[in-house]
Amino acid sequence: MALRFGLIGLGQHGRNAVLPAFYQPETVGVELTAVCDVSQQNLDAIDRPVEKYLSAAELIERAPVDAVYVAVGRDCAFDIVMAALKAGKAVICEKPMAASVEEAQAIAREVERTGCLFAVNFETRYSNPVRVLQRWISENRFGKINAIHFDNMWDCHKSFSAMAPRRARLLALSGALDCGIHKLDQARYLLGGDWDSVNAVGAWFDEPFDPPPHISVVGTLSNGCMFSLNASLAFTAHIEPRVIVNNIYLAGTEGVAVVRGGADGDEIVAELTSRTLCETVKMTLQCHTTDISLLLTEFAQVAANGPDTPHTFAGVEDGCQAQLAMELAIRDAKNKRRK
């Protein structure tokens, strides 16, 4: 029997990335039975055979769903997630999972209390580059891994385009780490450990946002591995051409890897140089919808077969750790700006 979902939030991401994922050929064991948005216009635009609600509380209470996908901003997610958990629903929540570490921890306590299945949509765990790096790590091509570095420069729509209001909302909530938080999760997913220290500096490009739209983060994991991230939603946002940089560098005692890529659909090249193997892998970056479809299928498998079922998706502790690192980085960058 398919896991029946309600999708809450039909904004840009929910409408164009999450909603189509439910109808991909790769999506198995899932049925979308209800959708919700505060905009009647957004609801009217959905031509699928689903129940429609203007209230998340009403969907959770009345709709024929076993699970909800919460695709709203981090400032709106907490009450919806908590209500769904209290109602015994499984939950997938967009990243970042909450408006604060305290809210994230409260969600974690509710997940533990209810035993409900919970995932955070760190969809890039399913991406081709991460899978290649994971394979090389499992083959012990790097020896002891000492450092992982990320470049994540994306204009996230132009500051002068029709998408400028969405860009402004994302920046007002999380700054460059709205997207960069994926890299905070990838570091722990690939290398293990929890966040031990996080420091950052930011640049604002004369924009009126509180979190920095351009940030450099340096940290360490509890296993001693060094981490760095250069993330931006301001990079080329104020000029017409698009230049997207999405690179990963991994360094160990016996090998190194460099992954160079850009936007969805671009060719990505991953190069391994180690004592035991030199290999080059060429691939494309999957779109959001493809990654989310893989998450949905795996989530349904765990729901059907139990929590011990092997899975890739990020759980509530992963979400809390990413939330912590993000907030520490933003706080440190803001403090340094004031000095």
CATH of the domain at 206: 3.30.360.10
Q: Specify whether 139 is located in the same domain as 88.
A: no
DSSP classification of residue 133: H
CA–CA distance, 308 with 125 (Å, rounded to integer): 19
pTM: 0.95
Q: Specify whether 206 is located in the same domain as 264.
A: yes
**Are the beta carbons of 224 and 111 closer than 8 angstroms?**
no
Domain that holds residue 191: 128-285+321-338
**Which residues contact residue 79 at a Cβ distance below 8 angstroms, ignoring those fewer than 6 apart?**
none
**Which residues contact residue 313 at a Cβ distance below 8 angstroms, ignoring those fewer than 6 apart?**
119, 120, 122, 125, 295, 298, 299, 302
Q: Where are the alpha helices (DSSP H) in 22-97?
A: 40-44, 56-62, 77-86
Q: Specify whether 185 is located in the same domain as 59.
A: no
- Look at residue 339 in the predicted model and tell me its pLDDT: 57
- Look at residue 90 in the predicted model and tell me its pLDDT: 98
Residue 316: inside a domain: no
Reference 242, options 152, 157, 151, 150; nearest CA is: 157
Q: Does residue 247 sit in helix, strand or coil? A: strand
Q: How does 113-140 read in b/e, with b if 16+ C-beta sit within 10 Å?
A: ebebbbbbbbbbbbbbbbebbeebbeee
Q: Specify whether 228 is located in the same domain as 295.
A: no
Q: Specify whether 295 is located in the same domain as 326.
A: no
Q: Specify whether 138 is located in the same domain as 25.
A: no
In order along its 339 residues, the chain shows pLDDT tens digits of 899 999 999 999 999 999 999 999 999 999 999 999 999 999 999 999 999 999 999 999 999 999 999 999 999 999 999 999 999 999 999 999 999 999 999 999 999 999 999 999 999 999 999 999 999 999 999 999 999 999 999 887 899 999 999 999 999 999 999 999 999 999 999 999 999 999 999 999 999 999 999 999 999 999 999 999 999 999 999 999 989 999 999 999 999 999 998 766 678 999 999 999 999 999 988 888 999 999 999 999 999 999 999 999 999 999 999 999 999 999 999 999 965
Q: Specify whether 146 is located in the same domain as 194.
A: yes
